[in-house]
Chain A
Amino acid sequence: MFAFVVKRLGLAVLVALAVSMIAFLLLRLSGDPAVALAGEGARQADIELIRHTYGFDRPLVVQYAEWLWKTLRGELGNSVYFKTEVGPLIFSKLPTTLLLGFSALLFALLISIPLGVLAAIYKNSWIDRLCLTTAVVGQALPNFFFALLLIMVFSIWLRVLPVSGSGTWLHFVMPTVALGYYVAPAFMRLTRAGMIEVLEADYIRTARAKGLPPSRVIFKHALRNAVVPVVALSAVQLGFLLGGSVVIETIFALDGLGYLAYQSITFKDYPVMQVIVLLLSVIYVLLTLASDVANAWLDPRIRVA
């Protein structure tokens, strides 16, 4: 088990490093940061001045190596756009994104597990079809479009929820639903498949034969086993939710990491973008690692593979 964890950890570090390198190169290839910073109508001399001031005129390898070295030592640099330190800027926005990510995950689990159980119990019936439709719609509907639909219904027609901002818990309702609904189908299908498999197992038949009430059979005996892979998937999906909040935070003007990512992309704020990409990839890699380790712990066969 120890060797497995060390191996996975090594892989995780390599993945994070590769992501940071690719992100660094792609961002630089997407355009000249000095031109973007100078703005419309800047003269060539002004652009040169900015390029030199910020060190964009040095070779890419040098810029990357310097950035990596400083990042490893905890020096995250200054935001080119907001002219403030990247570390505090990012960490001031992180709580909003974490709150949104966790609430979206919770929302997704709250709707997908009951639907998955229902679909499994009433396999191939209209209830199953209805649950499936709900899942398909969730996956097929782009979340920015679903977000706009929510705004139209709850903010413009019914006027019960604020459109945008992050001042109160009400501001988080629509973003949570919009983000959570998108990942719910994966959980639902996994729960359904798990439940169908478990419900056909011998020990369930035994439990039923013992005369246990159906609710107890389903929730205590079947669901507890069927839900194990869902827990593992949750870790991975949380990473996806944190990264995927860029669009949702932008639409709802939620002052989190996703919104900051959007702003830094718009303004070619490389230092901020780099750290956000790195932070999200590290979180994602760590969550995947946690999921792998959890799975390996639960199922010894994985350790060998």
Chain B
Amino acid sequence: MKTRPSVISFRRLAALALTAGLLAINGPATAGKKDDTLRFAYDQAPESVDPFFNNVRIGVIIGANVWDTLIHRDPNTNEYKGLLAKSWKQIDDRTIEFDLREGVKFHNGEEFDADSVVYTLNFVANTDNKVITQQNVNWIEKAEKLGKYKVRLTTKKVFPAAIEYLAGPVVIHPAKYYQEVGPKGMNAKPVGTGPYRVTQYTLGKSILLERNPDYFSDSPKTRPKIGKIEIRFIPDRQTQMAEALSAGTDLIMHVPKDQADQSKNVPHLQVLSGETMRIVFMQLNSQEGSPAAPLKDVRVRKAINHAIDREAIAKNIVGAGSRVIHTICFPSQFGCTDEGATRYSYDPALAKKLLAEAGFPNGFEADILAYRERNQTEALINYLGAVGIKAKLNFPQYAAMRDLIRANKVHMAHQTWGSFSVNDVSAATPVFYGFESDDITRDAEVRDLLLKGNNSIDPKVRKDAYKAALARIADRAYGVPLWSLPVYYVAARELSFTAYPDELVRFWEMSWK
């Protein structure tokens, strides 16, 4: 009799353990096709879901899936098509008129019309409303209603990239709702016209999207195929990878090259890599008062260009999807060309000769600033070392690096630039060569050419001006154009999707195989 209680408790224990075990086996969520839910993990939570109040990639991704813009840029052909606008017409240098699409409804049922466009554009153009992404909207002067479905937009100055911005970050909000709840309410309960609507949003944790069943069928974005999208914010990259390996997520992006390479051997995963619009280049401080005197000599700058084997680094370190660039802009951007620009072959002997001619037969010492892709900076340092330039690495945070650049305390900088995915040179080259605060070259001739390109709406005038500016930058070796950065995606094998250079994850295009 004495042993009986212990037998019972042992049985109870065993049953408990078994139940716990079974629960545990059933516990972890299985991702994917079965429940028509795509689980996407990203490392950073957006500060706000309202596209005008965040400056992070995931914000752009959510923005494009939940909202629509007036114009759509086809990511394959770069051709502009009407989205919320049926058509548009450039009236003069600073005025564009839009005919709007009829019959479109916001996720809350509010009708889309001229009021939505006028309210949104005037709201974001007003600096009192503290839009975070100022560079996306500070060119707008005003919007006026010409009819229920007709709008006129005036830019502050000649702004040829307006169409590109209207096809990118400038989304349209519902006038009544936005007026009522403001950016704060829009963040709490987002409402757009896009292919997906937000059904649940836990600040800093996750966002649940559901297919918009009323999405207009003739949208150039196409109607979404996958029913639900769960976006979870997982800050640790290793954890994201573990989620992918254990089928806890269906898609992760920005996977480091080595991990992506290893994932190729996992049966339930596929690895995709694609080029991004983010270009990598070196800034060489040659302006008046540069703390690096040798860099003022064009022969030294040319020597640096000849010293680096860009093809080898792009192939072996940067990885698939990357390409070597010869001018400081992304090749698909309007006005970007390397035609007529000097190309510098990898020639360390010539580099040494040029250094000797410039009075540095034994090289010199200089600092190099960098803030990301440290392995690439280290490769650059090695190549520079081989011709006698002893580059000392300073690797701060981005904000600190920019402070040093703007305070003229930089010698060389390993810089990258994503152009906010704007497919126009005006969003790239002028930032570093147009006498803006990050320009450490300050060549007036280059600036004037870039301004000419920025301030004309004649495509030919623009192209010629940018071409001449880019050629002069290359000829004077005002920097070292290096390569474009690739992005690696690890996805469930059953997911069908395409990677684009603008790093925009288009959920509406995706489907299950």
Q: B-contacting residues of A (Cβ < 8 Å)? A: 31-32, 35-44, 46, 49-50, 53, 81-84, 89, 92, 148, 151-152, 155-156, 159-168, 170, 250-253, 255, 259-260, 262-263, 266-267
- In the docked arrangement, what's the CA distance between A259 and B232, Å? 13
**Chain A residues in 8 Å Cβ range of B28:** 155, 159-163, 170
Expressed in whole angstroms, the minimum distance between the Cβ of A47 and any Cβ of chain B is 9
Expressed in whole angstroms, the minimum distance between the Cβ of B501 and any Cβ of chain A is 18
List B residues 205-225 near A (Cβ within 8 Å): 205
A39 touches B417 (CB 8 A): no
Expressed in whole angstroms, the minimum distance between the Cβ of A146 and any Cβ of chain B is 13
- In the docked arrangement, what's the CA distance between A32 and B406, Å? 13
B29 CB within 8 Å of chain A: yes
**Chain B residues in 8 Å Cβ range of A36:** 399
A155 touches B134 (CB 8 A): no
**Chain B residues in 8 Å Cβ range of A39:** 55-56, 132-133
B127 touches A263 (CB 8 A): no
**Chain B residues in 8 Å Cβ range of A163:** 28, 239, 242-243, 246, 248
The interface bits of chain B over 123-152 (1 if a CB of A lies within 8 angstroms of the residue's CB, else 0) are: 000010010111100100000000000000
- In the docked arrangement, what's the CA distance between A82 and B53, Å? 10
Expressed in whole angstroms, the minimum distance between the Cβ of A256 and any Cβ of chain B is 10
Expressed in whole angstroms, the minimum distance between the Cβ of B490 and any Cβ of chain A is 14
**Chain B residues in 8 Å Cβ range of A250:** 235-236
Closest to B188 in A: A84
- In the docked arrangement, what's the CA distance between A43 and B136, Å? 12
List B residues 5-50 near A (Cβ within 8 Å): 21, 23-25, 27-29, 44-45, 47-48
Other-chain residue from A53, A155, A253 in contact with B130 (beta carbon distance below 8 A): A53
A32 touches B399 (CB 8 A): yes
The interface bits of chain B over 408-421 (1 if a CB of A lies within 8 angstroms of the residue's CB, else 0) are: 00000000011010
- In the docked arrangement, what's the CA distance between A252 and B233, Å? 11
**Chain A residues in 8 Å Cβ range of B127:** 49
**Chain A residues in 8 Å Cβ range of B56:** 39
- In the docked arrangement, what's the CA distance between A36 and B238, Å? 25
B315 CB within 8 Å of chain A: no
B157 CB within 8 Å of chain A: no
B134 touches A255 (CB 8 A): no
B245 CB within 8 Å of chain A: yes
A82 touches B203 (CB 8 A): yes
B262 CB within 8 Å of chain A: no
- In the docked arrangement, what's the CA distance between A42 and B133, Å? 8
Closest to B29 in A: A162
**Chain B residues in 8 Å Cβ range of A53:** 130
**Chain B residues in 8 Å Cβ range of A46:** 134-135, 138
A253 touches B236 (CB 8 A): yes
The interface bits of chain B over 64-104 (1 if a CB of A lies within 8 angstroms of the residue's CB, else 0) are: 00000000000000000000000000000000000000000
- In the docked arrangement, what's the CA distance between A83 and B397, Å? 24
- In the docked arrangement, what's the CA distance between A301 and B400, Å? 53
Q: A-contacting residues of B (Cβ < 8 Å)? A: 21, 23-25, 27-29, 44-45, 47-48, 53, 55-56, 127, 130, 132-135, 138, 183-184, 187, 202-205, 232-236, 238-239, 242-243, 245-246, 248, 397-400, 402-403, 406, 417-418, 420, 431, 436-437
**Chain A residues in 8 Å Cβ range of B24:** 160-161, 170
- In the docked arrangement, what's the CA distance between A248 and B142, Å? 49
Expressed in whole angstroms, the minimum distance between the Cβ of B449 and any Cβ of chain A is 20
B397 touches A31 (CB 8 A): yes
- In the docked arrangement, what's the CA distance between A168 and B471, Å? 60
B232 touches A165 (CB 8 A): yes
Closest to A254 in B: B205
- In the docked arrangement, what's the CA distance between A42 and B399, Å? 10
Expressed in whole angstroms, the minimum distance between the Cβ of A96 and any Cβ of chain B is 10
Which one of A31, A151, A164 has the highest number of Cβ atoms from chain B below 10 Å of its Cβ?
Answer: A164
**Chain B residues in 8 Å Cβ range of A263:** 45, 204, 235
**Chain A residues in 8 Å Cβ range of B184:** 83-84
B27 touches A168 (CB 8 A): yes
Other-chain residue from A40, A44, A166, A267 in contact with B406 (beta carbon distance below 8 A): A44
- In the docked arrangement, what's the CA distance between A250 and B47, Å? 17
- In the docked arrangement, what's the CA distance between A164 and B55, Å? 26
A259 touches B235 (CB 8 A): yes
**Chain A residues in 8 Å Cβ range of B400:** 31
- In the docked arrangement, what's the CA distance between A69 and B135, Å? 36
**Chain B residues in 8 Å Cβ range of A37:** 132
Expressed in whole angstroms, the minimum distance between the Cβ of A170 and any Cβ of chain B is 4
Other-chain residue from A31, A35, A50, A253 in contact with B239 (beta carbon distance below 8 A): A253
- In the docked arrangement, what's the CA distance between A170 and B29, Å? 11
Other-chain residue from B55, B235, B242 in contact with A262 (beta carbon distance below 8 A): B235
**Chain A residues in 8 Å Cβ range of B202:** 255
- In the docked arrangement, what's the CA distance between A155 and B420, Å? 37
**Chain B residues in 8 Å Cβ range of A35:** 399, 402-403
- In the docked arrangement, what's the CA distance between A38 and B184, Å? 18
Expressed in whole angstroms, the minimum distance between the Cβ of B39 and any Cβ of chain A is 10
- In the docked arrangement, what's the CA distance between A164 and B234, Å? 8
Closest to B416 in A: A40
**Chain B residues in 8 Å Cβ range of A161:** 24, 27-28
Expressed in whole angstroms, the minimum distance between the Cβ of B403 and any Cβ of chain A is 7
Closest to A93 in B: B204
Which one of B133, B236, B243, B406 has the highest number of Cβ atoms from chain A below 10 Å of its Cβ?
Answer: B236
Expressed in whole angstroms, the minimum distance between the Cβ of B241 and any Cβ of chain A is 9
- In the docked arrangement, what's the CA distance between A84 and B50, Å? 13
Expressed in whole angstroms, the minimum distance between the Cβ of A49 and any Cβ of chain B is 7
Q: List 11 A-B contacts (CB under 8 A).
A: A49-B134, A83-B184, A84-B184, A84-B203, A156-B242, A159-B28, A161-B27, A163-B28, A167-B29, A253-B233, A253-B235
A162 touches B399 (CB 8 A): no
Q: A156-B245, A160-B28, A250-B236 are in contact. Are A41 and B135 (CB under 8 A)?
A: yes
**Chain A residues in 8 Å Cβ range of B29:** 162, 167
B135 touches A251 (CB 8 A): no
**Chain A residues in 8 Å Cβ range of B187:** 83-84
**Chain B residues in 8 Å Cβ range of A156:** 242, 245-246
Q: A31-B399, A170-B28, A263-B45 are in contact. Are A164 and B239 (CB under 8 A)?
A: yes
- In the docked arrangement, what's the CA distance between A164 and B238, Å? 11
- In the docked arrangement, what's the CA distance between A31 and B184, Å? 27
B132 touches A155 (CB 8 A): no
**Chain B residues in 8 Å Cβ range of A260:** 204
- In the docked arrangement, what's the CA distance between A152 and B234, Å? 17
- In the docked arrangement, what's the CA distance between A122 and B48, Å? 59
- In the docked arrangement, what's the CA distance between A46 and B133, Å? 9
Expressed in whole angstroms, the minimum distance between the Cβ of B198 and any Cβ of chain A is 16
Expressed in whole angstroms, the minimum distance between the Cβ of A32 and any Cβ of chain B is 6
- In the docked arrangement, what's the CA distance between A36 and B396, Å? 13
Expressed in whole angstroms, the minimum distance between the Cβ of B164 and any Cβ of chain A is 16
Closest to B184 in A: A83
Other-chain residue from A31, A49, A148 in contact with B238 (beta carbon distance below 8 A): A148
**Chain A residues in 8 Å Cβ range of B47:** 81-83, 267
**Chain A residues in 8 Å Cβ range of B403:** 32, 35
